[in-house]
Amino acid sequence: MRTSRASHFLYLVMGALSVAIVAAVLVAVGTFDRDDDGTSTSSATAAPRTTPASSQGAVPTDVSGIYKKVSSGVVYIASRTAQGQASGSGFVLDSKGTIVTNDHVVEGARNVSVRFTENGDPIPAKVVGADPSTDVAVLDVDESKVEGGVKPLELGDSKAIEPGQPAIAIGSPFGLQGTVTSGIVSALNREIQAPNGFSISGVIQTDAAINPGNSGGPLLDESGRVIGINSQIATNGGGDSNSGVGFAVPIDTVKSVVPQLKANGKIERAWLGVSTADSATTDGAVVRDVTGGPAQDGGIRPGDVILSFDGRTITSASDLGEAVLTRKPGDTVKVVVDRNGSKQTLSVKLGTRPNQPTNTLG
């Protein structure tokens, strides 16, 4: 499994625009951007408003039908931070008022509000929990304050999607709530950088137009089921608008993260403590560096090629990252490495992932 990473001229930027005064600088260095809610537009350019529709009924057969089915479950999110106003998108997960968005949309927020319709009143929202490692956050609103009630979206299966199938994005690009765009799933198993500097693996690439403000909104399949959370776009440095290369955190990742966030508010993740790269000649993850911790104590050395982790065959660096995240801190696992042509089985006790990388990806 191969993954794509940004070069010096291709930057990944978050889909929420930063405060205008620093936006150009942040895009240039590929940092995480947030949205200033001060975008000025005329009423002629606003997205069409629709009457909220029930998620029940026949399966829609076109983008218009999907929009009518799910748009009332997609929300505009505004937050106030020490740096100013920020905004993004989100979607309703259940009938209790649970909303899912990106961590970077609400990171550092002092207060958060959610708007269900373009002209609706903002409803206060509580940040229940956030996971910077997957860029997922969970909010809670009082469903009794939502006119007509909340309408959860149906979740799909990101393992079942294939390149070339339809993909629909709904969100609030540049503050234009209720905007829908469509395209296809361009590729699978991409890798992007999380807000805390670690890697997010298994990411969906799409050419459906995603722009600043789409962050946290749903990427949908042809039946209107959520297959991912729109999170980042790629740009060549000339701006932060859509270039036909967008990335969504897969919904299967969200399914595993949300229950933990609702229960504990955060997630402690396993940590191996290696920096790895794909091998040019064989499957496996090549250890570039060991910076201490679990890997060093377990006997892993730079130059080792990790072939197996806890019984799972490792074909790439991204594959290793995914495998580590299936375990818990304190677990002891068997790691099979190829060291100078000789296979060795090592026993490694996993640690707890630090808040930020220490030059490690594992």
Can 104 be counted among the known catalytic residues?
yes
The span from the CA of 258 to the CA of 64, in Å, is 29
Contact by Cβ (8 Å): 280, 324: no
Active-site hit among 37, 103, 135, 278 = 135
Task: Supply 247's token pair.
Answer: 């990335």
**Angstrom distances, CA of residue 215 to CA of 61, 230, 290, 345:** 26, 5, 34, 42
The span from the CA of 65 to the CA of 50, in Å, is 11
Active-site hit among 215, 275, 316, 318 = 215
The span from the CA of 80 to the CA of 292, in Å, is 39
276 beta partners: 287
- Residue 49 neighbours by CB under 8 Å, 6+ apart: 117, 118, 119, 178
Half-sphere exposure of 286 toward its Cβ, with a 13 Å CA cutoff?
A: 10
Can 135 be counted among the known catalytic residues?
yes
DSSP string covering 60-94, please?
P-SHHHHHHHHGGGEEEEEEEETTEEEEEEEEE-S
- Residue 97 neighbours by CB under 8 Å, 6+ apart: 140, 141, 142, 143, 146, 150
Active-site hit among 4, 89, 104, 182 = 104
Which residues are catalytic, by number?
A: 104, 135, 215
